[in-house]
């Protein structure tokens, strides 16, 4: 007996299969133009690859900005609730989730039962989201996944503008003046860490802190943020799937 | 006996010559990479073309973000003060100046003597500045000066994101889905009018309202803003030169 959680984010669509105890399969694809198509493809792939019988799927819960586009979902739940559920499942001692996705960033506070006690979200400004790093990687002509690697040994250059558009011009000028990609990348990670800090510090950050969302794979950003917040920040293999995990669990709970 | 006012903005550098009664010459060039170079070129051009004797120049006052880079300036004054002075010179009944430049937007309140009684400025976010329209014109593959013309007869499409980066993606999608440039342009002008309104409405807008800065040449934007604020909005040939005019007058006053 399985439940499926699907999280259609702005950039990536994620799905997981939950068997009542464990996450037994997960999959991720780009969201592309159509959240509905991504949902169909994901559902098809994950049932095929995990070799589960469609009749054993008892519930499909959808979350993420594209959740409204999935007609096959039995339930639609907000990202905030799903991220909270997912984090609590991964580690019961998590009290703060910092999530940076492709086009938003959020901080979620959890009580000891995994219920959301407070949250803050930015989805209006590209600064401080994956979009910022995506725009900048394009200018640096590197893949977004390389950012932490190339920046790790460099002295960060100051990027004065928080705004993605103005920071873009700054980076173009820095490249023109001969600055190294490494030091620019380090400066950009510092900039997004500052922006995240200013969001996160509006709530009282409590241990244990978990970093999720696509951008959490930037280990250097995690370190910078950890230093600024003066707290250890955890992440895991599941960090990109937190919303989908939470959705699958909510599906299971409501069986 | 002349004074010169130079306003080095982020996008355009402007200079005017004041003879104690009137503005007798004006010039505008792109600021480019070096505010210092633009200042030198402007000073050279305006003295040449206006045929004034260098010895008759009694003062050069600089304003705008690049003012610190001009060694030849006898005085450096903030944009806010200069815009106030300039507006009061153009029309003594102006009480509110809305200025949208290449990378900032501001609203300035003036008392009946032309002194600044209040102001608000946005120079942190590209939305609501000329930069927004510049980015969007590039995507639409039109010149920024054509925006009002092509939009004037169209029904505006809704652009949901205020953020320049997110709105850019929206526009790309709209083009892909076959929307006309005309209706997108109209939507973009509506968007920047909403953003400007949200800044401007934080102060009490008093008659007479003057619209200045490079973006003020968009007559459709002026109309939209006028409707939203429910007040007539004036502009003039000098509207891009307001800061430089104010600087030249301040130079004259301190002779
Ligand atoms: S600051 Fe920049 S990135 Fe943020 S909303 Fe404004 S334009 Fe967008």
A21 contacts: CB under 8 Å, gap ≥ 6: none
Distance CA B218, CA B211 (A): 10
In a domain, B138, yes or no: no
Convert the pLDDT of each residue in A209-241 to its tens digit. Answer: 999 999 999 999 999 999 999 999 999 988 999
Distance B21 CA to ligand 1 centre (A): 42
Taking an 8 Å cut-off on Cβ atoms, the answer to whether B165 and A33 are in contact is no
Convert the pLDDT of each residue in B5-45 to its tens digit. Answer: 999 998 899 999 999 999 999 999 999 888 999 999 999 99
In a domain, B209, yes or no: yes
Ligand 1 atom closest to the Cα of residue A132 is 3
Q: Is B165 in the pocket of ligand 1 (CB under 6 A)?
A: yes
Q: Is A164 in the pocket of ligand 1 (CB under 6 A)?
A: yes
> Taking the alpha carbons of B173, B175, B180, B184 in that order, is the dihedral positive or negative?
positive
- The alpha-carbon gap from A221 to the nearest alpha carbon of chain B, in Å, equals 22
In a domain, B52, yes or no: yes
Q: Which two structure tokens, joined as six digits, stand for B130?
A: 């000329």
Chain B CB contacts of A165 under 8 Å are 126, 131, 135, 164-165
pLDDT at site B203: 94
pLDDT band for A244, please (50, 70, 90 cuts). very high
Which structural domain, as residue segments, surrounds residue B79?
Answer: 2-124+197-253
Give the B window 158-177 contacts with A, CB below 8 Å: 161-166, 173, 176
Taking an 8 Å cut-off on Cβ atoms, the answer to whether B165 and A166 are in contact is no
In a domain, A101, yes or no: yes
Q: Could you say which of B124, B166, B173 has the minimum Cβ distance to residue A126?
A: B166
pLDDT of A250 > 90? The answer is yes
Q: Which two structure tokens, joined as six digits, stand for A201?
A: 């510090």
Q: Is B125 in the pocket of ligand 1 (CB under 6 A)?
A: yes
R_g (Cα) of chain A, nearest Å? 19
In a domain, B146, yes or no: no
Taking an 8 Å cut-off on Cβ atoms, the answer to whether B131 and A162 are in contact is no
Distance CA A24, CA A1 (A): 12
Distance CA B59, CA B37 (A): 19
Taking CA atoms, A217 is separated from A14, A31, A100, A238, in Å, by 15, 18, 10, 11
In a domain, B156, yes or no: no
pLDDT of A33 > 90? The answer is no
pLDDT at site B128: 94
pLDDT of A104 > 90? The answer is yes
- The alpha-carbon gap from B184 to the nearest alpha carbon of chain A, in Å, equals 19
Closest listed residue to residue A59, CA positions, set A243, A246, A248: A248
pLDDT at site B238: 86
Distance CA B239, CA B216 (A): 7
B213 contacts: CB under 8 Å, gap ≥ 6: B99, B100, B101, B105, B130, B239, B240, B242
Average pLDDT over residues A193-201: 95
Mutate one of B166, B172, B176, B195 to test the A interface: name it (highest A CB count within 10 A): B166
CATH number at residue A27: 3.30.420.40
Mean pLDDT of chain B: 94
Convert the pLDDT of each residue in B111-165 to its tens digit. Answer: 999 999 999 999 999 999 999 999 999 999 999 989 999 999 999 999 999 999 9
Q: Is A169 in the pocket of ligand 1 (CB under 6 A)?
A: no
- The alpha carbon of B33 is separated from its chain's Cα centroid by a whole number of angstroms, namely 19
Number of Cβ atoms within 10 Å of the Cβ of A155: 10
In a domain, B54, yes or no: yes
Q: Write the DSSP symbol of residue A73.
A: -
Domain count, chain B: 1
Q: Could you say which of B33, B103, B176 has the minimum Cβ distance to residue A166?
A: B103
pLDDT of A34 > 90? The answer is no
Q: Is A165 in the pocket of ligand 1 (CB under 6 A)?
A: yes
Average pLDDT over residues A29-45: 91
Average pLDDT over residues B247-253: 97
Q: Which two structure tokens, joined as six digits, stand for B73?
A: 């300036």
Q: How many CA atoms lie within 13 A of A35 on its CB side?
A: 18
Q: Which two structure tokens, joined as six digits, stand for B75?
A: 């005085």
pLDDT at site B237: 85
R_g (Cα) of chain B, nearest Å? 19
Convert the pLDDT of each residue in A139-169 to its tens digit. Answer: 999 999 899 999 999 999 999 999 999 999 9
In a domain, B94, yes or no: yes
3 state SS of B45: helix
Q: Is A194 on the interface with B (CB under 8 A)?
A: no
pLDDT at site B234: 95
pLDDT band for B74, please (50, 70, 90 cuts). very high
Ligand 1 atom closest to the Cα of residue B124 is 1
Chain B CB contacts of A166 under 8 Å are 103, 124, 126, 131
Closest listed residue to residue B29, CA positions, set B17, B18, B51, B44: B44
Predicted structure pTM score: 0.90
- Work out the percent of chain A whose per-residue pLDDT is above 70: 100
Q: Is B250 in the pocket of ligand 1 (CB under 6 A)?
A: no
Convert the pLDDT of each residue in B164-222 to its tens digit. Answer: 999 999 999 999 999 999 999 999 999 999 999 999 999 999 999 999 999 999 999 99
Q: Which residue has the higher pLDDT, A34 or B109?
A: B109
């Amino acid at each position: 007996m399985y439940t499926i959680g699907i999280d259609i984010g702005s950039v990536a669509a994620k799905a997981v299969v939950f068997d009542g105890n464990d996450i037994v399969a997960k999959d991720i694809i780009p969201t592309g133009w159509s959240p509905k198509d991504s949902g169909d493809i994901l559902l098809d792939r994950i049932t095929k690859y995990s070799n589960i019988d469609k009749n054993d799927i008892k519930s499909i819960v959808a979350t993420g900005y594209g959740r409204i586009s999935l007609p096959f979902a039995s339930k639609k739940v907000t990202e905030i609730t799903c991220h909270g559920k997912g984090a609590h499942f991964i580690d019961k001692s998590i009290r703060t989730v910092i999530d940076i996705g492709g086009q938003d960033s959020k901080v979620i506070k959890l009580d000891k039962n995994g219920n959301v006690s407070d949250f803050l979200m930015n989805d209006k400004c590209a600064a401080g989201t994956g979009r910022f790093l995506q725009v900048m990687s394009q200018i640096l002509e590197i893949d977004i996944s390389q950012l932490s690697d190339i920046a790790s040994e460099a002295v960060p250059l100051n990027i004065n503008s928080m705004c993605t558009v103005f920071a873009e011009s700054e980076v173009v000028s820095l490249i023109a003046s001969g600055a190294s990609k490494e030091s620019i990348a380090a400066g950009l990670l510092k900039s997004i860490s500052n922006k995240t800090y200013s969001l996160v510090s509006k709530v009282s950050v409590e241990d244990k802190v978990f970093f999720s969302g696509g951008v959490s794979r930037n280990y250097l950003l995690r370190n910078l943020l950890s230093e600024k917040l003066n707290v250890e920040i955890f992440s895991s293999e599941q960090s990109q799937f937190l919303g989908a995990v939470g959705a699958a669990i909510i599906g299971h709970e409501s069986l």
